[in-house]
Amino acid sequence: MNRVQETDPVVRLNFFYQSRKVCPKCSGSIKENRVTEDCRRDGDAYGQHYYYCNACNWFTKFEWDEASSPYYFEIPELQTKARQQIEASQSSSTGN
């Protein structure tokens, strides 16, 4: 089964801030899998949270780190990318 990874930062952020239980592509149920990649000597672990839909094969993942603030450390970068994407879309639609 080939899954289709979501890369659009706006879609990923909307999914992250909502319930993470409904597929943004087909409204199917989302399954979740938390993977711990490793644990540091101080006991802090890190890894990825996978979210996937069996109905349409959509999936996304968020990296987490117990030693990071925020816990999902990639979210600030996603927010910046989403903001840039929205601004670019708005300026192209207004002809600026």
94 φ, ψ to 5°? -95, -5
pLDDT in tens, 36-60: 999 999 999 999 999 999 999 999 9
90 φ, ψ to 5°? -70, -40
- Is the whole model's pTM more than 0.75, yes or no? yes
Q: Is residue 34 part of a domain?
A: yes
82-to-2, 45, 56 alpha-carbon distances in Å: 26, 28, 24
Q: Is residue 96 part of a domain?
A: no
The pLDDT assigned to 1 comes to 67
Average pLDDT value over all residues in the chain? 91
Q: Is residue 43 part of a domain?
A: yes
Q: Is residue 68 part of a domain?
A: yes
Domain of residue 84, residue span: 4-91
Name the pairing type of β-strands 4-5 and 30-39. unpaired
| CA proximity to 52, closest of 90, 18, 7, 20 | 20
Q: Is pLDDT at 14 greater than 80 in this prediction?
A: yes
